[in-house]
A and B are shown apart, each in its own frame.
Chain A
């Protein structure tokens, strides 16, 4: 069977699974809808968190990104995993003990203020919409590349699927579809990785093959460093970014990860505090499987690519080269008219431009794997994009129906009414996300820095202070959150939108790029919150009691039961 038939079969089969799960796990109450009734087993929550977290970008683009950045790409690997340590140690158990529905809910209750709640809602909405637009686009792109369906139809099909299980099942439906999606995406990611590792280093475990030797007896990484030197690139295993920028970007990504509302909310869904800690550990194992494999694919694919194409005659290149050339992901421009491909660092002489996504998408063909493996990669990409989109849509819908309507505008709304509002806002969010997927704002790529920067500089500090300081009051929290937010967004907006040409290291504050500035925003948030707190009154007694209460685990289950 050809690739396309295989892709149709596998993609349709996975969609049937998702819809089946959605029907089986319909939500009956707001508790079901927001937090899956608080009854998700830790292992399932770990898988769901992993799928929630790993987006189209992690699945399709990250390995390619690292393959072009080499050592500097480590900021993503450490940044997007190290955040889970912060999450497990500083946030998850306490937020689970607190036992409410959303992140703005915690901010609003802990700081006894609807102003704080509203600022938190705005941050949550902004971060989530930024992110979800990219996911819907990712769905469309996978459809167009593998099934030759126009991108926009792909987006609409994706919208329909997400709409079905997010609106019907809420968190409960999403959780169990995410478990299935995790299994599909990790299988799809690992199969080609294992094949290519065997092919190049004769070792079935990519993490070991990464440090292994090639058929000519040289170590893979030495060979790659050597090839880079030959072609005029900086060595693969050494740094190009400045140390201070590496530090601040890694910190911003870690803290941003720990502050993303769609990740935090997953820890509200387990029955006990100790399950919240444990499922953070499971989640990181499931994530680490992909994150320790991605850099191996990066190195294998890059070595393979350079060996295959550099100085090869254009008409003798393998079939995948021409196929991906047609999609525009590879471009060849024979500048010196010698009929051969020159791939070098010098932009004047370089004849080849390669899109980073190709490293994962074309991997099965480059490694000459069977057609069903290529089809599997398509299904994996879709699983990664859909699972993340659904988690984000739920945050958007809960922020509106719970934090704006139930807690502020119409407190006397019945549970049934709230559930209807939650479903309607989830539905509207799907449509809006689809709109962004069809008409992607051209700043989507630039806004990723934004999402992490804002999560790092707004949520993370005040949640940590809310747990670890009894003295922290609403004045401090609001001032801190607004300072972090304004500083970070101001810096990013200036360099990304107002004056993109000025976006060079010489102009950066202390040499910190917009990607890393969220770390500075976070520090400012902590400082301002602390100073303002020192001049303003203590929080009321019941708040200090509440903080005491969330610090030890006993009684967490009751907290959920009262709420429902």
Chain B
């Protein structure tokens, strides 16, 4: 796609959409699972872990790593699609 003004607006809107999705997950795995719903999740056990505790001290961090790499992958694809990537 050519980098016209209209396309650049579309590119930006799509980028914002990605951000909303990824940041919602970011919020849920840390503030949600790790804090707000930790007590309820602690009723569930996985091996030696209570699930809420596991999210607070392990799971949220793994999720953060995955979120950034998902973002990198999505944006690289989007940059190419709208022809705004760096040569």
Q: Which residues of A contact B (CB under 8 A)?
A: 66, 71, 73-74, 77-78, 81-82, 84-85, 88-90, 93, 207, 210-213, 219-222, 237-239, 243, 246-247, 250-251, 272-274, 277-278, 280-281, 284-285, 288, 291-292, 295, 548, 551-557
Contact = CB atoms under 8 A, between A and B. Distances in A.
Contacts, number: 141
Contacts of B8: 548, 551-552
Nearest to A221: B48
Given A74-B57, A211-B46, A90 B3 contact: no
Interface string B45-87: 0111110011011101110110111011001100100101111
B53 A237 contact: yes
The DSSP consensus for interface residues of chain A is helix
B44 interface: no
A551 B53 CA distance: 38
Interface SS majority for chain B: helix
Given A89-B23, A211-B54, A288-B62, A221 B68 contact: no
Report the interface size class on chain B. Answer: 35 or more
A548 B34 CA distance: 37
B47 A212 contact: yes
A540 to B, nearest CB: 19
A81 B48 contact: no
A89 B22 contact: yes
16 contacts: A71-B56, A82-B26, A85-B22, A89-B22, A89-B68, A211-B46, A212-B48, A237-B50, A237-B53, A243-B36, A250-B30, A251-B31, A272-B86, A274-B72, A292-B62, A554-B85
Contacts of B46: 211
A77 B65 contact: no
A247 B31 contact: yes
Contact of A77 (B42, B56, B79, B85): B56
A272 B31 CA distance: 32
Nearest to B58: A292
A78 B34 contact: yes
Interface string B8-48: 10011001000100110010001100111011001000111
B30 A82 contact: yes
Given A89-B19, A554-B84, A557-B86, A274 B75 contact: yes
A239 B49 CA distance: 15
Given A77-B57, A292-B58, A277 B72 contact: yes
Nearest to A80: B61
B44 to A, nearest CB: 13
A284 B64 contact: yes
Given A82-B26, A211-B48, A250-B31, A278 B58 contact: no
B48 A213 contact: yes
Contacts of A557: 86
